[in-house]
Amino acid sequence: MGIVATLVAVAGSSTVSQSSDELATLSAAGRSAGGLWELAMNIDGHFLPYYGFMHLWLEFGQAQWWLRLPSAIATGVATALIADLGRRLHSLPAGLAAAAVYVFVPSVSYHGQNIRSYAFAAAATVLAIWALHRAAEEPERPGGWWRYAAAVALLGCTQVFALLVLAAHLLAVALYDRSLLRRMLPSMALGCLPGAAWVVIGFNERHAISWITMPGPDVFLALPKMVGGTSLAGCVLLVLALSALFLWRRLRADRLWMTALAGWAVLPPLLLFTLSHLVSPIYVDRYLFATVPAYALLAGIALASVPHVLTALTLTGFLAAGLPGQLDLRGEDGHHENFPRAVRVITGEARPGDAIMYGRSSLREGFRYYGGASLPDDVLLLGGDPLPESFGYPERTDVAAAVGGVERVWVIWRGAPEAGSRIDKVITLVGEGFVRDRAWRTGRVPGMTVALYTRRA
C-alpha cells in the first residue's frame, strides 16, 4: 500500500505549477549552508530541518517531479504505517481499508505533491502513535520507549504544530492506564526537546505569519474540506470516522486507542484555535493536515466491521467522491497558482527591448524557475541572489530611471488586475507616461495578474 500511495502522489506531479510556499522551499534549500542558517535566523526557522534535508536533496536535481518526490515517499511511509497500525488496533482488513481511504483522500495527494513538510508531519504523527502502541505492548522493555522518544523528536522537527497531536496520547493514556502514563511521560518529554527549540524559534519569528487573522468559530465549518481536500470527500470521511466512534463498543477496538484516535482528530483544531486567541493568531487549515491519518484509521476500523461487499461499495463510493478533487489538483493550477502560464503569456508576446518588474520581489522566484533567460530584462534586480534574511530579492528603488528608454514594461502582481492601481511601481510607471495595454489573470483566487504597460506616443 505504501508503494501504491507513493505512485499515486507522483502521478501528475510534474505538470502542476509550484505555489509560492513551494517556491519558498526552493529558495531556502537552494542557498548555501551558511545562507540557509542566516535565513532561518530571520524567518521560517522552525522549518530548518526540512529545508536542510531539501538542501541536500537539491544536490541531485531540481526537476519538478524530483522536488516533490520526498513528499510522495513520506505519503507512502504514512500509508504503510497506517496499514500496520490499523492491523494492530483492530484487524488486517481494518489496516488495509484505512490505508486505501488515506490514498483516496484528495488532500493526501495534494500534500504528497507539495514541496513542503506537511506530508512528513503526517507520517511522523502515525509513526509516533505506532511507536507508542509498540511500547505499550511491552512496557517493561526500554527499547520501545526510546523508539517512542525518537518518533516524537522527529515529529517536532517536521512541523511544530503537529506536536499538538501529543495531547491525544496524554488524554487517552491518562484516562485508561495511569501506569502506562508514568512510563510514557519521560520519553515524551525527552522527545519534545527538539520541538520545543523550534517552537521558541518560531515564536520569536512570528512576524512571518502576521498575515494570519484571528479565527472565528466558522473555521470549524471548513474542517471537512481541510480533511478531505474537497467538501464532499471530507464529509464522507467524517461520516465514516464518526460511525466508528458511535459504534466502538461493537468494533472490538480498545477504548484507549479509540480515544487516542478521536483525540488525534479533534484536539489539534481545538488547541490551535485556543492558542490563536490566547497567544497569537496561528490557525491555518494546512497546519492541521497531520490529523487526516486519524480519520482514515477510524474509517478503516468502521469499514472492517461491516460485510466485505459493503466495504467494497463504500470504498468505491469514496473514491468516486474524491475523484473530481484528485483530477482538479493535478491541473496546471492545482496548487492555486500558475507560474508556467504567466511565463507563456510573456514569452509569447514579448519583444526585444521589453522590461519586466514584479509587484513583490519574491514573485521573481517562480519566473526564474519556469522562465529563466527567456524573460525580458529584469531592470530592477540588483544581483542574482535572494536577500539573506527573506525570500525577496534586492531591487533598485529608482523605478523611473530603470525604465528610461524602455517602451514596454511587463508587470506582475498578486490579485486581480484592478489591484495594480495600488502598487507603487505601477503608480510610478503611470506617472512616467505608461498606460496599461493588456492584462491577463492566471491562477485561482486571488490569482496573479500579468500586465503589459506601454509608453504613450
**pLDDT tens-digit series, residues 252-306:** 558 899 999 999 999 999 999 999 999 999 999 999 999 999 999 999 999 998 8
- Domain end marker among 329, 355, 372: 329
Q: Are residues 285 and 239 located together in one domain of the fold?
A: yes
Residue 249 has pLDDT above 70, yes or no: no
Which has the closest alpha carbon to 5: 124, 105, 127? 105
Whether residue 334 lies inside any domain: the answer is no
C-alpha cell at 346: 510573456
Residue 124 has pLDDT above 60, yes or no: yes
Cα distance between residue 54 and residue 33, in whole Å = 11
Q: Are residues 272 and 369 located together in one domain of the fold?
A: no
Q: Which residue has the cell 504523527?
A: 125
Whether residue 19 lies inside any domain: the answer is yes
C-alpha cell at 60: 541531485
Please state the pTM of the whole predicted model.
Answer: 0.94
Of the pLDDT bands very low, low, confident and very high (cuts 50, 70, 90), residue 373 is: confident
Whether residue 394 lies inside any domain: the answer is yes
- Domain end marker among 271, 305, 329: 329
Q: Are residues 281 and 352 located together in one domain of the fold?
A: no
Report the b/e string of 351-372 with b at 16+ CB within 10 A.
Answer: eeebbbbbbebbbbbbbbbbbe
CB-based contact 65:14 (threshold 8 Å): yes
Q: Are residues 319 and 345 located together in one domain of the fold?
A: no
- 3-class secondary-structure state, position 455: strand
Q: Are residues 125 and 265 located together in one domain of the fold?
A: yes
**pLDDT tens-digit series, residues 212-236:** 899 999 999 999 999 999 999 999 9
Averaged confidence pLDDT in the chain = 93
Q: Are residues 378 and 240 located together in one domain of the fold?
A: no
Q: Which residue has the cell 497531520?
A: 290
Predicted pLDDT of residue 2: 85
CB-based contact 26:125 (threshold 8 Å): no
Q: Are residues 324 and 384 located together in one domain of the fold?
A: no
**pLDDT tens-digit series, residues 152-169:** 999 999 999 999 999 999
Whether residue 224 lies inside any domain: the answer is yes
| Section 83-98 average pLDDT | 94
Q: Are residues 146 and 249 located together in one domain of the fold?
A: yes
Domain count for the chain: 2
Of the pLDDT bands very low, low, confident and very high (cuts 50, 70, 90), residue 250 is: low
Predicted pLDDT of residue 139: 85
Q: Are residues 263 and 377 located together in one domain of the fold?
A: no
Of the pLDDT bands very low, low, confident and very high (cuts 50, 70, 90), residue 205 is: confident
Cα distance between residue 405 and residue 403, in whole Å = 6
Burial of 247 (0-12, 13-18, 19+ CB in 10 A): middle
Which has the closest alpha carbon to 94: 235, 225, 234, 241? 241
**pLDDT tens-digit series, residues 36-78:** 999 999 999 999 999 999 999 999 999 999 999 999 999 999 9
- Domain end marker among 286, 311, 329: 329
Predicted pLDDT of residue 322: 92
Whether residue 101 lies inside any domain: the answer is yes
CA 419 to chain centre: 27
Q: Are residues 283 and 428 located together in one domain of the fold?
A: no
| Section 107-129 average pLDDT | 97
C-alpha cell at 209: 505569519
| Section 376-400 average pLDDT | 93
Whether residue 151 lies inside any domain: the answer is yes
Which has the closest alpha carbon to 434: 443, 447, 425? 425
Could you please report the per-residue DSSP string of 311-369? HHHHHHHHHHHHHHHHHHHTSTTTTS--HHHHHHHHHHH--TT-EEEESSGGGHHHHHH
**pLDDT > 70 fraction of the chain, expressed in percent and rounded:** 98
**pLDDT tens-digit series, residues 313-350:** 989 999 999 999 999 999 999 999 999 999 999 999 99
Residue 248 has pLDDT above 70, yes or no: no
Q: Are residues 320 and 345 located together in one domain of the fold?
A: no
Range of the domain at 398: 339-455
Cα distance between residue 239 and residue 245, in whole Å = 10
Q: Are residues 411 and 385 located together in one domain of the fold?
A: yes
